[in-house]
């Protein structure tokens, strides 16, 4: 299982796609720019800005997969991971 801290294009396009944290960076950047422009003329009344909460984006890299089944020469099924029937 693999997860990453940033939900970027690599996380979405690799194989398998990676589970990641969506930090809503575009929205956070807009909030930061707005706050900067508020401070330029000397307005400092807003000390904190509520931003979006991070969001877990579950993808294939952390999904549990059923064991793959292989037939052995004896006709018995063999399960990857050491179990057999």
Q: Is residue 7 part of a domain?
A: yes
pTM across the whole model: 0.59
The closest alpha carbon to 59, from 24, 20, 31, 28, belongs to 20
Q: Looking at residue 47, what is its pLDDT?
A: 72
Count structural domains, the chain: 1
Position 70 in a domain: yes
Assess contact for 85 and 26: CB atoms under 8 A: no
Q: Is residue 71 part of a domain?
A: yes
In a domain, 64, yes or no: yes
For residue 2, is it left (φ>0), alpha (ψ between -120 and 50) or beta?
beta
Rounded-to-integer distance, Cα 68 and Cα 85, Å: 13
What domain range is 54 assigned to?
Answer: 3-79
Note whether residue 85 is domain-resident: no
40-75: pLDDT as tens digits: 888 777 677 788 999 999 999 998 776 666 555 555
Is 84 inside a domain boundary? no
- 45 belongs to a structural domain: yes
């Amino acid at each position: 299982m693999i997860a990453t801290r940033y939900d970027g294009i690599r996380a979405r396009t690799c194989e398998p796609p990676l589970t990641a944290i969506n930090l809503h960076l575009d929205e956070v950047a807009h909030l930061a720019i707005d706050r900067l422009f508020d401070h330029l003329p000397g307005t400092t009344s807003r000390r904190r800005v509520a931003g979006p909460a991070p969001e877990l984006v579950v993808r294939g890299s952390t999904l549990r997969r059923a064991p793959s089944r292989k037939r052995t020469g004896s006709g018995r099924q063999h399960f990857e991971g050491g179990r057999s029937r």
